[in-house]
Amino acid sequence: MTNGYDADVIIIGAGGGGAVVAKELGEKGIKVLVIEAGPWYGNKQWPEPNSSQGAASSSSYDDLSIDLLKASFTDLEDDMNNRVNGKLRWGPANRELPPWQRIGGQVWQNSGVGGSTLHYFGNSPRAIPQAIDNIWPINYNELVPYYERVEAALPVNPAPVTAKEELFYYGARKAGWSNLEGKELSTPGYRTQPNAILRPNPSINDPFFDIQSNRSVGCTLRVIV
Ligand SMILES: Cc1cc2nc3c(=O)[nH]c(=O)nc-3n(C[C@H](O)[C@H](O)[C@H](O)COP(=O)(O)OP(=O)(O)OC[C@H]3O[C@@H](n4cnc5c(N)ncnc54)[C@H](O)[C@@H]3O)c2cc1C
């Protein structure tokens, strides 16, 4: 390339797909340039990604800062999800520019390094074999090693269970289904949802848990430390 960047592959968009492809290619020694229009929260090269231009690129782990990331995000709905100027809006990092519009209808997407995974639920179920076998040119068994690799990397674990899920399990047992341990899906049954969200506050099922004084926040009632 003649613009100062040396790359074998250019990936446009550092979202769920692009970032993973960049990681896989980079680990094979291929030079990858990732171009992302949205903000990079938690990077020292862009301490205020929505209000000042910052650097042109970042390729060092040392640029990453968990403190900066935490300071960028809040638990206030409008701060984060406002479609025009929320931090998770779909559009360029520069908030003087308008959000993007999709012709034909609105899709819930986020922009930035992380893409729509900046705001996702962490649900990580495998597709059932019937959705793959004899439909795709590969079959479920061929996919299993790849599922296992992703499940180890994220990592994927059974989602936390509350009274709502317990009631569902009770119904499933009464209907004659058995609980499926693990992530294997070749036999019918019910199971706890595989999820990649980090562990919630262990007190979530304690009926005497005082949410206010424990300063718990967010969908998993995590504790502010
Ligand atoms: C609220 C929510 C919850 C979700 N929950 C789950 C879940 O639990 N489990 C699950 O599997 N999936 C979930 N998803 C879906 C999942 O997040 C997406 O399927 C996945 O992120 C898509 O990856 P992608 O790379 O295709 O696109 P994205 O992650 O959307 O990334 C695209 C990136 O490209 C950038 N970009 C676009 N155009 C340009 C351009 N011209 N120049 C530079 N950059 C550009 C964007 O800024 C963006 O960062 C959820 C999505 C949302 C919104």
Interval 56-72: pLDDT, tens: 999 999 999 988 988 88
Instruction: Provide, rounded to the nearest whole percent, the portion of the chain with pLDDT above 70.
Output: 89
Decide which of 44 and 188 is more confident.
44
User: How many structural domains does the chain have?
Assistant: 1
Interval 10-50: pLDDT, tens: 999 999 999 999 999 999 999 999 999 999 999 999 999 99
Instruction: From 51, 183, 49, 189, select the one nearest 127 (Cα to Cα).
Output: 183
* Inside any domain, residue 173: yes
In this prediction the pTM is 0.85
pLDDT band at 161 (very low <50, low <70, confident <90, very high): confident
Atom of ligand 1 nearest to the CA of 90: 47
Whole-number Å distance, alpha carbon 54 to ligand 1 midpoint, is 23
pLDDT at residue 18 in the model: 97
> Which residues, in sequence order, are CB contacts of 26 under 8 Å at separation 6+?
32
| 156 close to 196: Cβ distance less than 8 angstroms | yes
* Inside any domain, residue 66: no
* Inside any domain, residue 159: yes
Whole-number Å distance, alpha carbon 47 to ligand 1 midpoint, is 23
pLDDT at residue 43 in the model: 97
Whole-number Å distance, alpha carbon 163 to ligand 1 midpoint, is 31
Cα separation, 176 vs 23, whole angstroms:
44
Domain membership of residue 188 as a residue range: 129-197
Structure tokens at 200: 């919630």
Q: Which residues' Cβ are closer than 6 Å to ligand 1?
A: 12-18, 35-38, 108-109, 111-112, 115-117, 119-123
Interval 127-147: pLDDT, tens: 999 999 999 999 999 999 999
